[in-house]
Amino acid sequence: MRNAMFAFCTSLALAAGSLSSTNAAQLPAIAPTATATAPAIHIQPSTIGPGDVLLVTGKQAGSVVVMNKTYSLQKSGDQFVRFIPIPIDAKPATYSIVTADKKAKAVFTIQKKAFAQDSITVSKQMEGMQQNTKRIEADQKRINKARSQSAAVPYFTDKFQMPVQGRLSTPYGYQRVVNGKISSRHLAIDIANKEGTPVAASQNGKVVLAEYLYLTGYTVMIDHGLNVFSSYGHMSKLDVKAGQIVKKGQVIGKVGTTGFSTGPHLHYAMLIGNTFINPNPFFQANPFDWK
């Protein structure tokens, strides 16, 4: 076990939302490469890892099939787009993405990526929190409602920022072992810092939830548009309210250790719909400029 202060929270499955228009930024133009016989689809990046995200862009409405799942492209400005999450357990290989009418096709590669193991010890009382299904299910309903809609046009036009400075105590994707038992994967990043350290919105967006949840304590959830969401958990204080429009870098709360937590840190997660994804590519570049 590492000598660092660890935090553990159970990831809640969040419902994928439908998209609706709000006051959001204009979608940057991405021009698909057209062919003589069919409208093209454009994907970026072309090489990714498990848990990463593809951005699919087209010039007309339709659906695409990726890894045996069908996704509808969503109108945003003068384009049709979709962020598609890649499962963290996806096998390394080259895959095809095909329009539902089979008139256009593109390929991408998933590279092999190993995730380390993270062992922690918690009290029996904390371990028992996971068994309180009544509280967990009640929170799930509130989360589902908060995630039920997303802006059709993104609030963001540049890369995301780290929500707080500190020590990365648990990276995305680590396999958790709790009290000697294999548990769920850690589908977020934990950033340790002193209690009361300001936490900032990682990107422009609309606060869709700001309240106390059983497992994640004081929690803020932000819609960034196009079904992209961020979540900030275990905070000691909330500085925003649901419905509020926030700017990238705006303080939304303070680092804490509320809920199912063993020490002061921020539990930061990103999702596409109901799928937790690796946030690091969003910190490294504007998603619309992924290569």
* Domain spans of the chain, in order of start: 25-110, 114-286
* Residue 26: predicted pLDDT: 54
Task: State percent of the chain over pLDDT 70.
Answer: 86
User: CATH code for 114-286?
Assistant: 2.70.70.10
* Residue 39: predicted pLDDT: 53
* Residue 13: predicted pLDDT: 37
* Residue 9: predicted pLDDT: 44
Q: Does domain 25-110 have CATH number 2.60.40.1930?
A: yes
What is this structure's pTM?
Answer: 0.85
Q: Which residues pair with 167 in a beta bridge?
A: 192
* CB-CB contact of 232 with 253 (8 Å): yes
In angstroms, the CA 128 to CA 43 distance is: 44
Write down the mean pLDDT value for the chain.
87
In angstroms, the CA 245 to CA 224 distance is: 10
First to last CA, the chain: 37
SS3 per residue for 132-146: CHHHHHHHHHHHHHH
Give the pLDDT mean for 187-203.
Answer: 98
Give the pLDDT mean for 233-259.
Answer: 98
* Residue 132: predicted pLDDT: 81
Read off the pLDDT of residues 29-69 as tens digits, 9 standing for 90 and up.
444 444 444 458 999 999 999 999 999 999 889 999 999 99
Read off the pLDDT of residues 145-167 as tens digits, 9 standing for 90 and up.
999 999 999 999 999 999 999 99
* Residue 27: predicted pLDDT: 55
Phi, psi of 161 (to 5 degrees): -115, 155
Phi, psi of 185 (to 5 degrees): -75, 150
**Confidence bin at 18 (pLDDT 50/70/90):** very low
Read off the pLDDT of residues 98-145 as tens digits, 9 standing for 90 and up.
999 999 999 999 999 989 888 777 777 777 777 788 999 999 999 989
